[in-house]
């Protein structure tokens, strides 16, 4: 049975990944690191994991821990993974990184959008982009995977099939998306405190959000991306607007999405407007589309759980592919309601 480790398991995405790995039928967890929480019982920091991880404590990361493991997940803040991967890759069978460190193909894009020079640009080409429904062939047996961001996942699932089919123009595309507060991470910040987000709805990262180049890379379109913060724990709803290249209809666009994702257990295409709550706790994305003959816009909507299909769930889906396991093992297609 493959043996895996998790680096950075105390953040929200890391803890969700820890929950999924602990319930996986075909993986054994060797350790979970969290330098700021080293020595703390997992069940104390996350009581929801107390029964699943009795006796498990967070440990301090040491590269030697990875020696001989089949796979290591990295659930760290941006910039931290790039410092670890060169040494880690020598010791472990595969690396699955949830951060943005290896998502972009162009190293100069990190200077423009992240404000720093990439510390390991020679490794970028070796990472497969971890969105299985759109880039699966590169993920089968991969030794290095860069898991997409939550916003790019939602945008790409909606737009990329339309770009590939030549249905929409690749310029003037608008992605208007809203995310739950867990997307900001577990460490407290003034902007995500209860009193700051409750009864509030606001846009941020205007014109320069760092997920913009990733969305453009994944979709093949030039995009104006505006994210919003909404007072909910988890979830993303992306509303994407594009101009059609030729006359089309709602029925035709929906049929294209249905055909694209036929047989994909984690993508639901339907006529109803997707709901973030319907995806909570699952690895599913829900999609719909409309063509407005009055204004000429094609509108595609995608809802998903930013900690599930937008982070930890997708990371595990990629790990299954990399390790030759059932792609859906350990992942739920059912959301949690109410």
Catalytic residue ranges = 150
List, in sequence order, every residue forming a beta bridge with 145; answer none if it has no partner.
96, 128
Q: How many CB atoms lie within 10 A of CB 331?
A: 23
Distance from C-alpha of 332 to C-alpha of 327, rounded to nearest angstrom: 12
Distance from C-alpha of 174 to C-alpha of 163, rounded to nearest angstrom: 13
Burial class (CB in 10 A: 0-12, 13-18, 19+), 128: buried
Distance from C-alpha of 132 to C-alpha of 119, rounded to nearest angstrom: 27
Tell me: cis bond preceding 338? Omega within 30 of 0 counts: yes
C-beta of residue 229 within 8 angstroms of C-beta of residue 177? no
C-beta of residue 22 within 8 angstroms of C-beta of residue 32? no
Distance from C-alpha of 308 to C-alpha of 285, rounded to nearest angstrom: 9
Structure-block tokens of residue 215:
């969305």
Residue 83, C-beta contacts closer than 8 angstroms, at least 6 positions apart: 119
CA 14 vs CA 43, 274, 316: distances in Å: 14, 26, 11
Instruction: Find how far residue 34's CA is from the centre of its chain.
Output: 20
What is the SS3 assignment for 20? helix
């Amino acid at each position: 049975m493959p043996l895996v480790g998790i680096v950075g398991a105390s953040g929200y995405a890391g803890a969700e990944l820890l929950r999924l790995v602990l319930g996986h039928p075909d993986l054994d967890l060797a350790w979970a690191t969290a330098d700021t929480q080293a020595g703390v019982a997992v069940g104390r920091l996350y009581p929801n994991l107390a029964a699943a991880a009795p006796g498990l404590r967070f440990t301090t990361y040491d590269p030697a821990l990875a020696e001989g493991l089949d796979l290591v997940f990295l659930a760290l803040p941006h910039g931290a993974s790039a410092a670890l991967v060169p040494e880690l890759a020598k010791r472990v069978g595969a690396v699955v990184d949830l951060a943005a460190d290896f998502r972009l193909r162009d190293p100069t894009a990190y200077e423009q959008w992240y404000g720093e020079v990439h510390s390991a640009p020679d490794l970028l080409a070796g990472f497969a982009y971890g969105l299985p429904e759109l880039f699966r062939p590169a993920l089968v047996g991969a030794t290095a995977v860069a898991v997409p961001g939550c916003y790019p996942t939602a945008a790409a699932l909606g737009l990329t099939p339309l770009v590939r089919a030549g249905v929409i123009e690749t310029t003037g595309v608008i992605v208007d998306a809203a995310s739950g507060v867990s997307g900001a991470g577990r460490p407290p910040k003034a902007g995500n405190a209860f009193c700051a987000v409750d009864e509030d709805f606001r846009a941020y990262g205007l014109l320069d959000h760092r997920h913009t180049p990733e969305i453009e890379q994944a979709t093949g379109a030039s995009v104006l991306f505006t994210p919003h913060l909404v007072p909910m724990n988890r979830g993303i709803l992306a509303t994407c607007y594009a101009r059609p290249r030729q006359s089309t209809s709602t029925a035709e666009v929906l049929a294209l999405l249905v055909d694209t994702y036929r047989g994909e257990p984690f993508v639901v295409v339907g006529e109803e407007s997707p709901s973030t709550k319907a995806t909570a706790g699952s690895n599913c994305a829900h999609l719909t589309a409309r063509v407005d003959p009055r204004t000429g816009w094609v509108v595609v909507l995608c809802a998903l759980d930013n900690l599930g299909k937008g982070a930890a769930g997708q990371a595990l889906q990629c790990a299954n592919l990399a390790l030759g396991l059932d792609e859906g093992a350990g992942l739920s297609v059912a959301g949690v309601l109410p």
